[in-house]
Amino acid sequence: MNLLEHCLIPDWPAPKNVRTLQTTRNGGISAAPYDTLNLSSNVGDAPLAVARNRMLLEPMLPSEPVWLKQVHGVAVADAARAECWPEADACVSTHPGAVCVVMTADCLPVLLCNDKGSVVSAVHAGWRGLCDGVIEHAVHAMGMSSNTLMAWLGPAIGVQAFEVGDEVRAEFVAKDPQAVAAFVPGTSGKWFTDIYQLAGLRLNALGVTRVYGGGLCTYTDSANFFSYRRDSVTGRMGTFIWLDK
């Protein structure tokens, strides 16, 4: 089985030694509703199926990824020093061969690297973490001038499917008045939300102006992506980044 043909390679001008991989829902062995390449061991899938799916990734990765216990927070783990399952929603690496990964099924995965290819980061940006500053914490942990950084936004729930309440919009706007542009009126006090735009605003405010990707909707593309909001019980995709050894 050639798993790579079922994955996406981010299209961005990262240095050649910065390696990336975005899985889809296809190419694994998990049964419905986790069909087929579920990488999460915390969603009810058979443990042996998850283990086998992760093994399928081994030929494409230089080492075992640092799998995070994601909690919609802002903590950042160091891929070269983290112990098993650190509680964090972002991971940073300056060590060649150490693999950062975040898992998503509607939340926004963000990859970051610098121009010299000496530091990389993967960020799990659900609305809560995004609002509270997980991207800012990841950029700070990278320890580089923001104008040397670039970002790639992976598959996430699209604006036409992501409806939130007044309280979510109010939290974003309170922290950044420009965020009002990312919300379109929905029904009964709800708002359709552009999570890509919200992430872009945060990145731009940090000085990270080179932002690529976005536009792949997990909710509407059921053939390729898991979506928690669409299916409730479902798998998780992985977004990986590392420095070549």
Give the predicted TM-score (pTM) of the model: 0.96
Tell me the per-residue pLDDT of 151-208, one tens digit each, with 9 for 90 and over: 999 999 999 999 999 999 999 999 999 999 999 999 888 999 999 999 999 999 999 9
State the pLDDT at residue 245. Answer: 85
pLDDT at 1: 63
pLDDT in tens, 122-134: 999 999 999 999 9
Residue 2 has what pLDDT? 83
pLDDT value at residue 228: 98
Q: Measured in whole angstroms, how far is the alpha carbon of residue 138 from the centre of its chain?
A: 12
* Domain 3-156+215-243 class, CATH top level: alpha beta
| 96: three-class secondary structure by DSSP | coil
Whether residue 94 is predicted with pLDDT greater than 80 in this model: the reply is yes
| 210 DSSP β-pair partners | 150
The whole-number pLDDT of residue 82 equals 81
How sure is the predictor about 22, in pLDDT bands with cuts at 50, 70 and 90?
Answer: very high
Between β-strands 191-193 and 237-243, what pairing exists: parallel, antiparallel or unpaired? Answer: unpaired
- Pairing relationship of beta strands 90-93 and 76-78 according to DSSP bridges: parallel
- Give residue 34's identity as a one-letter amino acid code: Y
The domain locations on the chain are: 3-156+215-243
Query: What Å distances lie between residue 236 and 6, 51, 170, CA to CA?
Result: 15, 13, 29
Task: Find out whether the peptide bond into 36 is cis, omega within 30 degrees of 0.
Answer: yes
Return the closest-CA partner of residue 112 out of 244, 231, 239, 216: 239
Percent pLDDT > 90 in the chain is 95
Give the model confidence (pLDDT) of 45-85 as tens digits.
999 999 999 999 999 999 999 999 999 999 999 999 887 78
Mean pLDDT, the chain, whole residue set: 97
Give yes or no for a cis peptide into 86 (omega within 30° of 0). Answer: no
At 218, the pLDDT band (50, 70, 90 cuts) reads very high
pLDDT at 23 over 70: yes
CB 98 within 8 A of CB 87: no
Q: Mean of the pLDDT values across residues 230-239? A: 98
